[in-house]
Homo-oligomer: A and B are copies of this chain.
Amino acid sequence: MKNAERRSQVLAIARDVFAEKGYHAAKIDDIVQRAHIARGTFYLYFTDKRAVFGELLDDLFGRLRTAIRRIDVTAAEPLLDQLRANVRRVLALLFEERALTKILVSDAVGLDPDFDEKLLAFYGQVRAVIEGSLAEGQRLGLVQPCAPELVATAVIGSVKEIVYQTIFGRLQASADDVVSALFACYGRALLR
């Protein structure tokens, strides 16, 4: 097995272990045992435990960033469809990557100041995108007057909570259900 392959194998196993046990309860031993490698080998691929976790998080952040596209008012595609597609892509990714999502909404929270910062930075970026879209919409007269930073935060929180409750089995909802519900709330309220 070549280097990169082994690396991503360990990464995938670490992801599952973190998701199952949580960051602190997950031991390096759990990971290396499941990966059938020696303890020392782990440190050939990663500098330390935090680094693996950070990498997993960054990976998800990257893919989420790709999924979230700024609304293009000049594009042919109707704005609402663009929005819907955005939410669908995000939810599809999160529902598909259960382990990573669990890590994101549960383990990474309050882990330590650096990770808190990482999370806040990511959510800040997402918020900026949503705020930008809202501001653009208001400029074009498509969106009702509102406090964009609060609405954007509320939207993020809604998605997070729905995903969180779904991940922990307290909510059964398909991506489409969620899209519909979110549009029932925010669409109706915000669009003119």
Where the two chains meet, the residues of A that have a C-beta atom closer than 8 Å to any C-beta of B are 22-25, 105-113, 116, 120, 123-124, 144, 146-147, 149-151, 153-162, 164-165, 168, 170-171, 173, 177-178, 180-182, 184-190
Closest B residue to A187 by CB, please name it.
B189
- Of the residues B24, B110, B187, contact of A109 by C-beta under 8 Å: B110
Would you call the interface of chain A mostly helix, strand, loop, or mixed? helix
Question: B112 contacts A180, CB within 8 Å?
Answer: no
Q: Count this chain's copies in the assembly.
A: 4
Question: A171 contacts B185, CB within 8 Å?
Answer: no
Closest B residue to A103 by CB, please name it.
B110
Question: A159 contacts B162, CB within 8 Å?
Answer: no
* 19 A-B residue pairs with CB within 8 Å: A22-B111, A22-B113, A25-B112, A106-B109, A106-B110, A108-B110, A109-B110, A110-B110, A123-B165, A144-B184, A146-B185, A150-B171, A150-B181, A153-B158, A157-B161, A157-B162, A185-B185, A187-B189, A188-B188
Question: B162 contacts A158, CB within 8 Å?
Answer: no
- Of the residues B24, B157, B173, B182, contact of A160 by C-beta under 8 Å: B157
Min CB gap A183→B, angstroms: 9
Question: B168 contacts A181, CB within 8 Å?
Answer: no
Which residues in B have their C-beta under 8 angstroms from that of A107? 110
The 3 closest A-B pairs by CB, nearest first: A157-B161, A106-B110, A150-B181
- Bound state CA distance, A62 and B153, in angstroms? 26
Min CB gap A69→B, angstroms: 21
- Bound state CA distance, A160 and B123, in angstroms? 14
Which residues in B have their C-beta under 8 angstroms from that of A177? 147, 150
